[in-house]
């Protein structure tokens, strides 16, 4: 269970969730994959987000469910969060992804037609 003081500045409802001993931020998923960058650079967030998307698509193709737990990002970027997962202090955690077998398939979502505007 991830239970901390609201290190990321969470307040109100989110702070109460984090302090609840029955709340499990990673939904008791069997696997947590933390996509991180080991060096600073102008595109580390974008590179990690692209890797997360590919990971999540591959998980789906294998019949697995996945979810990016954005709520955990601010804690994982603290020294306590990095220490908990053994992440070196200089690394930047970007995408905490849980993976497991879904209990049910999500329903289809109605989508809007895209708006395309050509420039040039």
| CATH C-level class of 25-100 | alpha beta
Confidence of residue 105 (pLDDT cuts 50, 70, 90): confident
- Whether pLDDT at 97 is above 60: yes
pLDDT digits over 7-26, tens only? 445 556 777 887 888 998 89
Beta-carbon contacts of residue 14 (< 8 Å; ≥ 6 apart): 6, 71
pLDDT at 81 over 80: yes
Is the model's pTM score more than 0.85?
A: no
- What residue ranges in the chain does DSSP mark as E strands? 31-37, 65-68, 92-100
């Amino acid at each position: 269970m991830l239970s901390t003081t609201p290190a990321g500045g969470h307040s109100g409802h989110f702070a109460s969730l984090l302090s609840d001993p029955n709340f499990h931020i990673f939904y008791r998923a069997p696997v947590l994959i933390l996509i991180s960058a080991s060096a600073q650079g102008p595109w580390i967030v974008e590179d990690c987000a692209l890797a997360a998307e590919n990971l999540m698509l591959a998980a789906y193709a294998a019949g697995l469910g996945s979810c990016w737990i954005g709520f955990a990002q601010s804690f994982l970027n603290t020294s306590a969060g990095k220490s908990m997962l053994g992440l070196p202090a200089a690394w930047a955690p970007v995408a905490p992804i849980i993976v497991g077998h879904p209990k049910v398939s999500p329903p289809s979502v109605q989508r809007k037609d895209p708006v395309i505007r050509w420039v040039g």
